[in-house]
């Protein structure tokens, strides 16, 4: 009887193994959900980069340091 109990908990299909597999499954589901959120965010960004000129200008100014003709850029540096 005790051998059966030991096998139920520690065997290939024992409770401990099933629990660990369930935890891995949940972690992978969460990773998939985060990946889908990143993909959705990137799709939204791509649409904006294709269609939203105000957004494109904002990106050019903030990320690339670009300016319009006859504009001056001021950069403030912390000491």
Domain region containing 21: 2-62
Question: What is the distance between the alpha carbons of residues 69 and 47, in angstroms, rounded to a whole number?
Answer: 27
pLDDT at 8 over 70: no
Q: How many CA atoms lie within 13 A of 11 on its CB side?
A: 8
Tens digits of residue pLDDT in 19-67: 899 999 999 999 999 999 999 999 999 999 999 999 999 999 888 888 8
Asked whether residue 15 is domain-assigned, the answer is yes
Asked whether residue 76 is domain-assigned, the answer is no
Contacts of 65 (CB under 8 A, 6+ apart): 73
What tokens appear for 69 in the block? 């003709």
Higher pLDDT, 1 or 51: 51
Tens digits of residue pLDDT in 13-25: 778 888 899 999 9
Counting the structural domains of the chain, the total is 1
The angle subtended at Cα 57 by Cα 54 and Cα 47, nearest 5°, is 60
């Amino acid at each position: 009887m005790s051998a059966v109990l030991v096998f139920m908990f520690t065997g290939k299909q024992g409770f401990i193994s099933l629990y660990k597999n369930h935890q891995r499954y949940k972690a992978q589901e969460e990773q998939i959900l985060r990946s889908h959120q990143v993909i959705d965010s990137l799709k939204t960004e791509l649409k904006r980069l294709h269609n939203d000129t105000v957004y494109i200008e904002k990106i050019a100014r903030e990320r690339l340091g670009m300016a319009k003709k006859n504009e001056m850029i001021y950069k403030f540096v912390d000491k």
